[in-house]
Amino acid sequence: MGTQGVGPVETALRKVLVPVCVLSGIVVVSVFFFQDLVGSVVSGRGLLVAALLFFGSGLAYVALLPVTVDTDGAKDRRDAPYLLRVRRLGWIGTIRELGERIGGFLARQEPITFGVPVAAFALFFAAIYVFPSGTQAAVGTIQGVLLHEFGALFLGAMFLTVLYCLFLLAGPWGEIRLGGPDAVPTYTYPTYFAMVFTAGIAAGIVFWGPAEALVHYSTPPPFLDAPPGSAGLAAGALAYAIFHYGFSAWSAYLALGVPIAYYTYQRGAPLRVSAILTPFLGSENVDGAWGTLVDVLAVFATIGGIATSVALVGQQFLAGVNFQWGVTYGGAGPVLVVAGLTLIYVVSAESGVQRGIRRLAAVGIVLFCLFAALMVGIGPRSAIAGLGTAAIGRYVTDFVGMSLYLGGGLVAGDWVASWTIWNWSWWFSWAPFAGLFLAALSKGRRIRTVVLTGGVATSLATTVWFVLLGGTSLALQRSGAVDIVAAIAAYATPEAVAGFPMFAALPLGQLLMFVFLALIIVFIVTSADTSTLVVSILATKREYAPTTGSIVFWGLLQGSVAAAVLLVGGGEALQALAVLTGGPFAVLSLVALAGLTVAFRRQESGHPSLLDKARSAIGDRTIEGPSEVLQEDN
């Protein structure tokens, strides 16, 4: 056993963080809840700095608290802490590694997996800087072709992953225990769920919770075939929001996560996205050219997706604050937010899964539940219940139709490409890092439990969120209590501000806004710290564990890319490029499931399905059979 976090640097840092958190918290809480008294004293930039110091110091303190861990890796070198291990050099050693030992740092990196993404991002921003309009136009053209001409690929791939996950839930292969019959889960179930959910959802759910159903209500999806603002449209609009964040979306993660977990724990493959090629190449050969290509795509998709998300969160965070309080920050404001977020998630990722990543995931779930409880307590419960029930019913009955709907004309096709297909591509582009993280945490779990957690439980949580927030915004809009659609009409990013007029119309609105903004920060941090750790693992040679220097490098690179998006531009183009990687991973997901099916059929026979277990349970509780009864009667 050993204790992490008792070194002099971290101990001193924690002592500094406490007063910083308390003092900045006093400023933030005073402005939030007593704006008339102190709002004129604190400038907009001062409030932003205070908010970042408050949230950042608080989350960093939680991440850096000491923890006792089992350091005897020889007992089992394939549990989650070992697979996600970080070679700790201490902060002084990390600075020395990055500053004085660059050659040693580079020697531990996979040359192609490390070098190609770094070079690609450098070339991208150089092109944006030198040829801004031409680069953006070229990327936009490629994206348009992919989303419009290959839309059927995304719809078909996502629908097949859903069907496969449902079969894993009910079929015999769901009974397979990852790691063998005697394997024990590394984490308790609440911790397992918290890390899976917060790693895969980011801040999009927070922004779009009150916004997406309203957008569909004012500009109806062609599939619903209803006039804008009509009474029958509300349930369908909310159903579409649930659809875009529901079981289909989470199935994309499972399509890669389950194969990676199976080959890692059952076949000895390395913890790499390229492990999905094990049935085709063998576990010894996944480090070859094809495996390297898959891992390079995974690194690029992860950094591109997370970096653009961090940049967008910075802009949207400030857009919401500007909407509510009329505070402007200039061009430096979003960069300051990105810098603050980067510092938080780098500290969390460096502290490891057992400390920062696990604890911040728990903080996110607590805030999520607190916010949901507040909405239930003060929101229009009867309207939410009615709309939510109707929307879930529409989601179930129209699921196949929405999943396969390509649109019957140019307008409908454009809508599907801009919403459903774009969302599916985004979820597939996030699948490499979210799926790999899910796989690393799942040792000792049955595959059925992995699917129940990574698909069913997570989608139930997102459904509750959209029912509460989307149902409330629709109810207030329809009742005339507040015209949210008109209030956000002037904003290019309506999702950034839709929540604020809704909260203002509810009791305890200031408290709701405070928790809402806290959730935005926590959710983006819990995705970014996980992605930083995963990219560090993928870019480090198989025989090495990533060092703290590697964690810091990739975390800062993600933050630098996000800042470059804000300073140089090209955010839409970079987001488009990240989304474009969803195409290859949609195909790779089908390849992974095909290979997994072959492996299961060859190696995993004799497992009971849910129906078999139900029959067995019924048989154990009833008489043996009619023949024996007849014999006794005779």
H, E, C per residue of 461-526: HHHHHHHHHHHHHHHHHHHCCCCHHHHHCCCCCHHHHCHHHHHHCCCCHHHHHHHHHHHHHHHHHH
SS3 state of residue 568: helix
Per-residue pLDDT tens for 178-237? 998 889 998 999 999 999 999 988 778 888 999 999 999 999 999 998 899 888 899 999
The CA distance from 490 to 41, in Å, is: 29
* pLDDT at residue 82 is higher than 90: no
User: What is the average pLDDT across 439-449?
Assistant: 94
What are the pLDDT digits (tens) for 4-17?
A: 666 777 888 889 99
CB distance 348 to 529 below 8 Å: yes
Helix, strand, or coil (residue 242): helix
Q: Percentage of residues in the chain with pLDDT exceeding 90? A: 45
Burial of residue 186 (number of CB atoms within 10 Å: 0-12, 13-18, 19+)? buried
Structure confidence by residue, pLDDT tens digits, 402-415: 999 998 777 788 99
pLDDT band at 329 (very low <50, low <70, confident <90, very high): confident
- Least confident stretch, 20-24, 142-146, 221-225, 628-632: 628-632
287: helix, strand or coil: coil
Candidates 86, 164, 178, 215; CA nearest to 536 is 86
Quickly list H helices, 34-79: 35-38, 44-64
Q: What is the pLDDT of residue 71?
A: 58
pLDDT over 50 (residue 462)? yes
Residue with tokens 């999009």: 204
Q: Residue 87's beta-bridge partner residues?
A: 547
Mean pLDDT for 353-381 is 92
Which residues is 446 bridged to in the sheet? Answer: 177
Confidence band, pLDDT 50/70/90 cuts, at residue 627: very low
Of the listed ranges 156-160, 166-170, 515-519, the one predicted with least confidence: 515-519
pTM: 0.90
Per-chain mean pLDDT for the chain: 85
